[in-house]
Amino acid sequence: MPRQKRVKSESGYYHIILRGNEKRNIFHNDEDKQYFIDILESKKEGYCYSIHAFCLMDNHLHLLMNEGEEDIAKIMKRITVSYVYYFNKKYKRVGHLFQDRFRSETVEEDRYILSLTRYIHQNPVKAGLVKRPEDYKWSSYNAYIYNNNCFSNVVDTDTVLGIFSKNVKTAKTLFHKYMREENADEFIDIEEKEEVLDEEEAKALYEKMLLNWGLDSKESASADLPEAFIREFKTKTNLSIRKIAAITGMNKDKINKTLRG
């Protein structure tokens, strides 16, 4: 099956995920994680990209970054090639380290930048590794809170903090509060949830449901669908919020709020 063409971000911002081949660890210890961070820092100086959030887990990692002079594919190739060379040499191994190419999704609006930053920082909490985001060493969370954090040179905190407030002290307070809020944010992850229907079948079901509900397909794209309709569609397809939004044309936040209500 041919690879799907990667969606180009209009803003230049992307959520990137890399995972180990066959779900194996890509980091065996802190030294490996630090080496990867060093690569992020050294490569961004030459290719003008920015890292706004990151979290390194043992078998996968998340990045929120925006591309600079080179596109995201070339940037990630430079990063991964450098790390794989280090990893294979250190552990005397050959072959692929990462599963396929990196996965990505575009981030086009401020509210998604904020929710994605929270999602990334809450990964260790949801995995049961720590109780609070600030307790996990290998994420960018503390670079936002402390000026002299060891990752301060790697992470551009101005963009995210600037969304909260122009006053740095106020922004950090609001950031800390927002990062710890409970949420049901959905983004790409190491494993997609099992879906009852594939996307083409789901589109056909959507059109059939519109007909059954007496809704016009042309008007539905610009109007909010009934809450009961969204819940029924979710139950029958088990699609992610991201895919439901793509099929229905509704805003992801509104779908998320409906399903949580």
- How far is it, in rounded angstroms, from Cα 10 to Cα 142? 29
Question: Is the pLDDT at 157 greater than 80, yes or no?
Answer: yes
- How far is it, in rounded angstroms, from Cα 51 to Cα 211? 46
- How far is it, in rounded angstroms, from Cα 185 to Cα 17? 16
Residue 7 included in any domain: no
In the chain, the number of structural domains is: 2
CB 124 within 8 A of CB 136: yes
Q: What share of the chain is helix, strand, coil (3-state, %, to 5)?
A: 50, 10, 40
CATH number, domain with residue 36: 3.30.70.1290
Residue 99 included in any domain: yes
Last residue of a domain, one of 179, 213, 232: 179
Task: Count CB-CB contacts under 10 A for residue 217.
Answer: 10
Residue 106 and residue 22 share a domain: yes
Handedness of CA 226, 251, 122, 196 (dihedral sign): positive
Residue 67 included in any domain: yes
Q: What are phi and psi of 154, to 5 degrees?
A: -90, -35
Q: What is the pLDDT of residue 190?
A: 56
Structural domain boundaries enclosing 100: 13-179
Question: Is the pLDDT at 255 greater than 60, yes or no?
Answer: yes
Residues 180-231: pLDDT tens digits?
Answer: 887 767 676 655 445 567 778 888 888 888 888 888 766 555 567 888 888 8
* pLDDT over 70, % of the chain: 89
- How far is it, in rounded angstroms, from Cα 60 to Cα 85? 17
Q: What is the pLDDT of residue 260?
A: 60
What confidence category does residue 4 fall into, taking pLDDT thresholds of 50, 70 and 90?
low
What is the DSSP annotation of 148-216?
T-TTTTTB--HHHHHHH-SSHHHHHHHHHHHHTS--------SSPPP-SS-HHHHHHHHHHHHHHTT--
CB 133 within 8 A of CB 139: yes
Residue 44 and residue 173 share a domain: yes
Residue 135 and residue 57 share a domain: yes
